[in-house]
């Protein structure tokens, strides 16, 4: 079970790129991989590399929870994590501060909750995705989140920052729209 995460070189180097997970063995046999918890949390550097790593670890966690990387649910979660993490890096970056990714699988509700927390509380996303210019190079991220998520929003974080969250259905039929 994942019990906590730290950033490699914490204390000596601020903003290291790769999170290091501290795993604690459960009651299983030696060498047996413990069953994954239904929660995941990690800090990432507020860089494009940190956002990319957050997406990759989200796919890995979804696989641990029984959703293969090629499944619609895992792909939807990867896209939402990628967009929210990229927004945290691009719009929510505060020098010297990391962003946090949290995932929670709620099997009873059929949802994966994704939360990305950054330190820029004054810059909150709009309540609805903004219209984008077809020729523009950016501005479609929240449109993707709006289509892939059952619901999404943001909340202030105390003492500073904000959390942008989205909930993705684990039902393949509702996770991605039909072509």
Q: Is residue 137 situated within a structural domain?
A: yes
Q: Can you give the pLDDT at residue 142?
A: 85
Residue of 94, 15, 120 lying closest to 6 (CA atoms): 15
Q: Is residue 89 situated within a structural domain?
A: yes
pTM of the model: 0.72
pLDDT at 17 over 60: no
Structural domain for 64, as ranges = 39-175
Residue of 146, 101, 99, 133 lying closest to 119 (CA atoms): 99
Tokens in use for 162? 């904000």
Number of residues that this document lists for the chain: 179
102-130 tens-digit pLDDT: 999 999 999 999 999 998 876 666 666 66
Q: Is residue 71 situated within a structural domain?
A: yes
Q: Is residue 79 situated within a structural domain?
A: yes
Window from 47-51, 90-94, 170-174 with minimum mean pLDDT: 170-174
Per DSSP (E only), the strands in the chain are: 2-7, 19-23, 39-44, 99-106, 111-118, 151-156, 162-169
For the chain, the domain total comes to 1
Q: What is the CATH number of the domain that holds 138?
A: 3.30.565.10
20-63 tens-digit pLDDT: 333 333 344 455 555 555 899 999 999 999 999 999 999 999 99
């Amino acid at each position: 079970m994942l019990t906590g995460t730290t950033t490699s070189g914490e204390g000596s180097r601020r903003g290291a790129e790769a999170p290091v997970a501290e795993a604690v063995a459960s009651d299983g046999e030696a060498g047996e991989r413990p069953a994954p918890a239904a929660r995941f949390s990690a800090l990432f550097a507020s860089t494009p590399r940190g956002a990319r790593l957050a997406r990759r670890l989200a796919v890995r966690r979804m696989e641990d929870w029984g959703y293969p990387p090629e499944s619609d649910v895992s792909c939807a979660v990867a896209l939402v994590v990628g967009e929210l993490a990229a927004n945290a890096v691009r719009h929510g970056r505060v020098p010297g501060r990391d962003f946090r990714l949290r995932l929670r699988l709620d099997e009873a509700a059929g949802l994966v909750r994704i939360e990305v927390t950054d330190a820029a509380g004054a810059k909150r996303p709009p309540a609805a995705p903004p219209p984008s210019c077809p020729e523009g190079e950016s501005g479609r991220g929240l449109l993707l989140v709006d289509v892939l998520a059952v619901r999404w929003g943001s909340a202030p974080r105390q003492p500073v920052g904000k959390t942008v969250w989205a909930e993705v259905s684990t039902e393949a039929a509702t996770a991605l729209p039909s072509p």
